[in-house]
Amino acid sequence: MTNLLNQVSAILSANNIESTTGGINKNLENWAVGKNTLLEIFRSNADWNEEQLAIITTVESSE
């Protein structure tokens, strides 16, 4: 997550937003937990594609 930390830090710095490494890390940890929870929900869908990390389905038009 170091690369992501550096990217977020650079964005905040470029926008003159003060931050600490600890604060950024805490936000990234919270994001990762939320993302993992969401992925677990998605994985329960029959159309889940693990390789693409997406629910892929075909929708047919009724027209």
Report pLDDT digits (tens) over 10-63. Answer: 999 999 999 999 999 999 999 989 999 999 999 999 999 999 999 999 888 887
35 lies in a domain?
A: yes
28 lies in a domain?
A: yes
Half-sphere CA count of 25, side-chain side, radius 13 A: 4
Q: Which residues pair with 54 in a beta bridge?
A: 49
63 lies in a domain?
A: no
For residue 15, what are the domain limits?
A: 2-55
62 lies in a domain?
A: no
- pLDDT-derived band at 1 (thresholds 50, 70, 90) equals low
60 lies in a domain?
A: no
Query: For the chain, what is the domain count?
Result: 1
Q: Model's pTM, two decimal places?
A: 0.61
Half-sphere CA count of 30, side-chain side, radius 13 A: 6
- pLDDT-derived band at 2 (thresholds 50, 70, 90) equals confident
